[in-house]
Amino acid sequence: MAETGCLKDGHFQNLEVVNTTILDTGDTTMTGSLNISDSTASNDAGSGALVVTGGVGVGGDVNVTGNTVLSGTLSMVGGAVGHVTGVNDTAQGADIANDSTPVPMAATDFGKTFACLLTNAVKSVTLPPNVTAADIGKSLKIFQAANLVLPGQLSIVSSGTGPTISLNSYFIGQGLTTFRPEAESTTVVIAGADSNSAFGQGSTITATVVGEGMYMIEIIAIPLGTGSNAITVS
């Protein structure tokens, strides 16, 4: 039967402690393993089955099966950078058809590549909504498998609250005069042209999550003919 009391200096074997235990200011050294069976969830740095106010030094590997949230800086001193797995999908995305049907993308589309068959239709593609800090680094790519000509138009929409396309986005291609957003925005529009189109076959669009609710859009335009001033941002 457990009793209330105070343990002073000494050596103890098979010690069972029930309810709350307070370890004061002295150090605690363990030569065996510590197994915590409590399943309390952690929603922040002050909750969970194990809460540590100060820093934690770990001399070996760390294996995490759940989600990991970092609110500070992640630094690596020495060692080699390994592959990151489980961030993106590796499947191919569905073809983007040459019609006016909007394409809403989802979080399951990160990591996929999409062939865009758009030539002369007006179409919008909405990037996965509600991205958070946990999504930073996730991306998807659209490659143009046809020449975008009149009256074709492709809109890339980043949905969310407020401006959601970051200022470090950029657009490269012959004939373009808009190379980056002048202000944070939500939509990039690419207009087709007949004999000289900026967005010819082989052009690519890469959308990468760079912050909560924020995408960096990278467009590399391969022209048909001499290209055109095809991109507007709003």
Asked if residue 3 has pLDDT above 80, the reply is no
What percentage of the chain carries pLDDT values higher than 90?
58
Q: How confident is the model at residue 86 (pLDDT cuts 50, 70, 90)?
A: very low
Please choose, from the candidates 99, 172, 112, the residue with its C-alpha nearest in 3D space to the C-alpha of residue 143: 112
159 located within any domain: yes
Please choose, from the candidates 61, 71, 36, 66, the residue with its C-alpha nearest in 3D space to the C-alpha of residue 51: 36
55 located within any domain: no
212 located within any domain: yes
Looking at residues 9-35, what average pLDDT do you find?
71
185 located within any domain: yes
Structural contact between residues 197 and 225, judged by C-beta atoms closer than 8 angstroms:
yes
Residue 94 CA to residue 82 CA, distance in Å, equals: 30
- Report the amino acid identity of residue 170: Y
Domain count, the chain: 1
How many other CB atoms sit within 10 Å of the CB of residue 206? 17
Residue 184 CA to residue 168 CA, distance in Å, equals: 9
DSSP labels, the chain: --------SS--SS----S-----SS----SS----------SSTT-SSS--SS-----S-----S----SS-----SS------SSS--SBPPPB-SSS--EE--GGGTT-EEEE--SSSEEEEEPPSS--GGGTT-EEEEEE-S---TT-EEEEE--SSS--B-TT-EEEETT----S-SS-BSEEEEE--SSSBSS-TT-EEEEEEEETTEEEEEEEEPPBTT----EEE-
- pLDDT at residue 136, as a whole number: 95
Residue 166 CA to residue 217 CA, distance in Å, equals: 8
Asked if residue 16 has pLDDT above 80, the reply is no
Q: In whole numbers, what is the pLDDT of the chain averaged over residues?
A: 86
162 located within any domain: yes
Residue the block writes with tokens 């001499």: 226
pLDDT digits (tens, 9 = 90+) for 143-155: 999 999 999 999 9
187 located within any domain: yes
Q: Which residue has the higher pLDDT, 130 or 55?
A: 130
6 located within any domain: no
Longest dimension (CA), the chain: 90
Residue the block writes with tokens 């809109």: 155
Burial class (CB in 10 A: 0-12, 13-18, 19+), 161: exposed
Looking at residues 208-227, what average pLDDT do you find?
96
Looking at residues 198-213, what average pLDDT do you find?
97
Domain that holds residue 122: 103-129+148-233
pLDDT digits (tens, 9 = 90+) for 46-76: 888 888 887 888 877 788 777 777 666 565 5
Looking at residues 113-121, what average pLDDT do you find?
98
Looking at residues 216-224, what average pLDDT do you find?
98
186 located within any domain: yes
